[in-house]
Amino acid sequence: MNKIFDIYNFNLIKDNENYYFFRALNMADIKDLEEGIILDKNGNLEKIRTDRQRYKENLQNEKPKYNKEDKISLEQIYDHIKEHYRKDTNCISLSCNSNVSISYGRGLYKDKYIMIKVPKNEFGEKVIFAGQYMLDEIEKIINKYISDVNIDSKLKETLFEIDNSKTLDEIKNKIKVRYKSKEVLNFNNAKLKKKIRYKQPVARIINHKVLNKEQLLEINKIIAKLTLLERKGHMPPIISDTDSNTLLIKTIKSAFTSLELIHYGQIEKEEIIDIPKEIVDIFSLLQPIEGQDKQTVDDL
């Protein structure tokens, strides 16, 4: 897993000592900027705050779900990345892809960006690759469950076959053939409703251009095993306030699509490189062609 999803496989900006990631300043960052909350006495950026820090200041009756002292966790990453995300986590989103940041900064925010410098020997501590982290944590949960709980031999055999699958079609067939739902789907009532669990496991399979074939295969092995265990009544929802693992899988897909990294906790002054939008535009032109002419891109 670490080799297949190594950050080096995702076209990032780097030099001999550091990795460099992008952040489009969102509207909360811009508000902090305009009010001088995140500026030093010389008017330079000295920090980027977490949502939880802002949430605490605006607290009325509801306490934040997460505290500053909480350790990073699968659930907190999920709460930060999911579609209707929570605004009380210690997470700050970055991307290793400049085009992703531009799509947010130019499409939703005010076209202002920073780069974050992370020493290579510190990567994985307070800055993590979100998709890989989530997969690792889910795989640990699945493996522990399989070792702790007595499951029938037929299911064990199918899980073993999934682990040894060579193609996405093989994985799909393991889900479809072995455990078909007895429920008949009414496609006229296809609108998602709260508290309804939908029995279309193949729809969970991820197939996205951001990932290569080997990465897709490994992701979908984990998703397929989680799906089978869940549908056979063995695996409860991993996230505490959900009734299935479907939204968790959707969030993993979103994390990989955005090539998202999580900075855990406030970003400090020494990590920040304040850059004009034109520099991000230059990187957005260079990154897509790195694989075609790596030496020229490195020189540039």
53-92 tens-digit pLDDT: 998 766 566 789 999 999 999 999 999 999 999 999 999 9
Tell me whether residue 3 is in a domain.
no
Domain shared by 86 and 223, yes or no? no
The average pLDDT across 138-165 equals 91
Tell me whether residue 4 is in a domain.
no
Q: Which amino acid is at 36?
A: G
Does residue 199 contact residue 181 with C-beta atoms inside 8 Å? yes
**Tens digits of residue pLDDT in 190-206:** 444 444 444 445 557 77
Separation of alpha carbons 37 and 33, rounded Å: 6
Tell me whether residue 97 is in a domain.
yes
The average pLDDT across 98-115 equals 96
pLDDT at residue 185 greater than cutoff 50: no
Give the structural domain span for 253: 131-257
Domain shared by 238 and 266, yes or no? no
The pTM (predicted TM-score) of the whole model is 0.86
- The helix or strand, by DSSP H or E, that contains position 132, with its residue range, turns out to be helix 130-148
Task: Give the Cβ contact number of residue 230 at 10 Å.
Answer: 19
Closest by Cα among 195, 200, 202, 171 to 183: 200
The DSSP string of 47-95 is EE--HHHHHHHT-SSPPPSS-TTPPP-HHHHHHHHSTT--S--SEEEEE
Domain shared by 153 and 84, yes or no? no
**Tens digits of residue pLDDT in 10-69:** 778 888 999 999 999 999 999 999 999 999 999 999 999 999 999 876 656 678 999 999
- CA 98, chain centre distance (Å): 16
Tell me whether residue 2 is in a domain.
no
Domain shared by 146 and 263, yes or no? no
The number of distinct structural domains making up the chain is 2
